[in-house]
Every structure is written in structure tokens, then in C-alpha cells.
């Protein structure tokens, strides 16, 4: 079965988790390309400013306040979108909660809440969107993390939720293919991205957390999402450093675990103190962080060659063809040189024999 996705310029798109970070820049990128966009999140303040920014640039958008943990609210987002625009072509699920604490520090209620947002929320998004996408085909694009493959200390709840989404998407993708349903299911796995999540997330440590470097600008992920909305693809790592994480876990979990222990503790610490009792946005939205970038803009990479090549296959194919031509030329030159030397040797041998 071949899945044909519409050009973004004529798509109707939902971006769930759009008030800040990856979701916010993704909504802006789709609107800039002509898509009609519904943005959703818990924080109305961030959604209002986002829609205003889109409309000021000539785009079309509206917002719906919704909590990913509540299935009825998520369904309402899908229904409002279809009611307003007549259909739904792409559902992008970016909403996520974050908590920075050891396993012993994390309470059962905190695990429950984070799983409701990060795991059940993604399931809610897929189930709310699928009835509408099945009608004419479309795309489900879900954000997880390279931590869906290998986790780091202080993030047990977040890591477990991302592993769960990874497994859910594998099953969903196979079931849709088996039933010949023309809906692509893409998992976007960002590496460390400079978003406000490290300030919005709950924190029980005596210091403010940070991501293990290197960090990338959120647009690196948005570019991967834009690509997946037009090109059916199972998964896509956003940020080349993330490829190393996934490959290490695939080929040597012991080595990946060793790096997680040696780097994970020190690389996530900052010199900024915290009272160790910051609830953040785990249970309720927090204001002041409705931005695309976090506080590490001075060290982020604004682009990524790996993601660029993965999302620009024509460029990749051109480079491969050029590399093949160069290699072929070198091999031909060596073959001709070898043949020339062989002929010269035969001539010399003939002179001595005569």
C-alpha cells in the first residue's frame, strides 16, 4: 500500500502541545507554508500569542485549550478542527511533561500524572485523530525522544513514558498497514533540544537541570516534522548526536549504560541552585515560558547536517552520486595505472629475453 500525503500548503494540521518549544515553532513553520493550523495545549496564554503571531504573518490558525491527559478534551480538538476546516490531514503530538528527580524522590502520583500526559496523551491523540484521518488518508506524527532508546539519570518517569510511546507506535503502525489504512505513523526522536522544558518541568534536585550537550535549536526538529508530513516515514532522529545514542543502545547496551552513568550525572547539572521542590507544569500550566528556545541559546547548534540530509533526499542522492563518481574515477584510474605498469613490465621482460 502506498500512502500519498498532501502538500503542506493545502493541509489541515493539528499541533498538540504548541504553546512553547518544538510545538510552537512547528505550528509557525506549517502556517508559514500555507497550512491551516489548530494549536492546542493547556496554557491559553501561550496559545493566544501563537495564533496572533501566525495571523500577523498572514497565516490561518485557531486554538483549543486542552489537556492531553483527558481523552474527551483531546477528542474535542479533533472535532473542532474538522468543524472549522472540514477535514484533518496531519496530527502532530508534541505535548509532554517533564520531571527531574531520582526514582526514590518521585512519588507514585507524579509518575501517574506524567504517564497520563506523555503516554496516555499520545494514545489519546492517535485515537482522536485516526477516525478523521482514515477517511482520506493522512499522517500521525508523534514526538518521543532518543531517550525512548536509552535513558539518563534523574528522568525515570520521562524515559519510561517515551519507551511506552515507542512501543505503542510500533504496534499501531503494523496494525494500520495490515488493514491497508492509508495513514502514516511517524516517530520523531529528538536529541537534546534547547526548549523551555528544563525550566517548565518539575525539579526535585538542589540545582537547575540542563540537557546533556550538544543541544540543537527546536527548528531542527520542526524540519523533521515538516518532512514527515509530506513523506511517509516510520521514524526520524532529529539531531545527529541522537543517532549515536540509538546506535550505541542497538549494538552495545552495556557501553550505552556505561556512558549514561559516567556522563549523565555531571552533564545535567548547572551551577544555578534550586530549592528542590519545584512542581513546574506537571499538574498545572506555568506562565513565562511561552517561547521557542530555552536558556541555552548561546550553545545550541542552529542546524544539523544529519537531519538536513535525512530530510533532503535529493541532496543526499546527489552527494552519493558524486561520491560514487569520484570513487569510480579513482578505481578506473588505478586500474589503468596498474594495466600500464603491467604492460611496461612485459616490455622490459621482453627486452631481457631477447
Residue 85 is among the residues annotated as catalytic for this protein: no
| H or E element that contains 62 | strand 60-65
Rounded to 5 degrees, φ, ψ at 198 are -75, -15
Angle at Cα 300 formed by Cα 13 and Cα 51, nearest 5°?
A: 30
What residues form DSSP beta bridges with 189? Answer: 237
Please enumerate in sequence order all residues whose Cβ is within 8 A of that of 325, keeping only pairs 6 or more positions apart, or say none: none
Q: Output the nine-digit C-alpha cell for 42.
A: 493547556
Q: Within 13 Å, how many C-alpha atoms sit on residue 152's CB side?
A: 25
- Return the C-alpha cell found at 162: 517515551
Residue 314's alpha-carbon distances to 13, 231, 321, in angstroms, are 26, 13, 10
**Residue 93 and residue 87 in contact, taking contact as beta carbons nearer than 8 Å:** no
DSSP designation for 280 = T
DSSP string computed for 225-267 = HHHHHHS--SEEEESHHHHHHHHHHHH-HHHHHHHHHHHHTTT
Alpha-carbon distance of 221 to 141, in angstroms, equals 12
Q: What distance in Å separates the CA atoms of residue 127 and residue 114, rounded to the nearest whole number?
A: 19
10 Å CB burial of residue 181 (0-12, 13-18, 19+) is: middle
Q: What three-state secondary structure class fits 140? A: strand
Q: Which three cell numbers stand for residue 135?
A: 477517511
The one catalytic residue among 63, 85, 111, 158: 158
Classify residue 231 by burial, with Cβ atoms within 10 Å: 0-12, 13-18, 19+: middle
Place of cell 502520583: 109
Active site residues: 158
Amino acid at each position: 500500500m502506498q500512502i500519498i500525503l498532501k502538500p503542506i500548503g493545502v493541509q489541515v494540521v493539528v499541533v498538540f502541545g504548541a504553546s512553547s518549544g518544538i510545538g510552537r515553532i512547528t505550528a509557525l513553520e506549517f502556517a508559514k507554508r500555507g497550512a491551516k493550523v489548530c494549536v492546542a495545549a493547556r496554557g491559553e496564554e501561550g496559545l493566544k500569542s501563537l495564533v496572533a503571531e501566525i495571523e500577523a504573518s498572514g497565516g490561518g490558525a485557531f486554538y483549543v485549550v486542552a489537556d492531553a491527559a483527558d481523552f474527551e478534551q483531546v477528542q474535542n480538538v479533533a472535532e473542532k478542527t474538522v468543524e472549522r476546516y472540514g477535514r484533518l490531514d496531519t496530527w502532530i503530538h508534541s505535548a509532554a511533561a517533564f520531571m527531574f528527580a531520582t526514582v526514590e524522590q518521585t512519588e507514585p502520583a507524579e509518575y501517574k500524572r506524567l504517564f497520563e500526559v506523555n503516554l496516555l496523551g499520545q494514545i489519546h491523540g492517535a485515537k482522536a485523530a485516526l477516525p478523521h484521518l482514515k477517511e482520506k488518508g493522512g499522517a500521525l506524527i508523534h514526538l518521543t525522544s532518543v531517550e525512548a532508546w536509552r535513558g539518563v539519570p534523574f528522568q525515570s518517569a520521562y524515559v519510561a513514558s517515551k519507551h511506552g510511546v515507542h512501543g505503542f507506535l510500533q504496534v499501531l503502525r503494523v496494525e494500520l498497514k495490515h488493514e491497508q489504512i492509508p495513514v502514516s505513523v511517524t516517530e520523531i526522536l529528538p536529541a537534546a533540544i534547547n526548549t523551555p522544558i528544563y525550566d517548565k518541568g518539575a525539579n526535585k534536585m538542589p540545582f537547575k537541570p540542563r540537557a546533556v550537550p550538544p543541544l540543537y535549536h527546536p527548528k531542527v526538529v520542526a524540519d523533521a516534522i515538516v518532512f514527515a508530513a509530506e513523506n511517509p516515514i516510520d521514524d526520524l532522529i532529529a539531531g545527529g548526536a541522537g543517532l549515536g545514542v540509538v546506535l550505541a543502545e542497538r549494538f552495545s547496551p552495556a557501553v550505552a549504560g556505561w556512558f549514561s552513568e559516567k556522563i549523565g550525572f555531571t552533564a545535567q547539572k548547572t551551577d544555578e541552585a534550586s530549592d528542590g521542590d519545584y512542581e513546574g507544569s506537571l499538574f498545572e500550566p506555568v506562565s513565562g515560558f511561552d517561547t521557542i528556545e530555552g536558556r541555552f541559546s548561546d550553545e545550541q547548534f542552529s542546524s544539523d547536517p544529519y537531519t538536513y540530509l535525512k530530510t533532503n533526499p535529493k541532496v543526499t542522492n546527489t552527494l552519493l552520486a558524486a561520491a560514487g563518481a569520484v570513487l569510480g574515477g579513482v578505481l578506473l584510474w588505478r586500474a589503468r595505472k596498474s594495466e600500464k605498469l603491467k604492460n611496461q613490465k612485459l616490455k622490459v621482460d621482453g627486452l631481457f629475453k631477447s
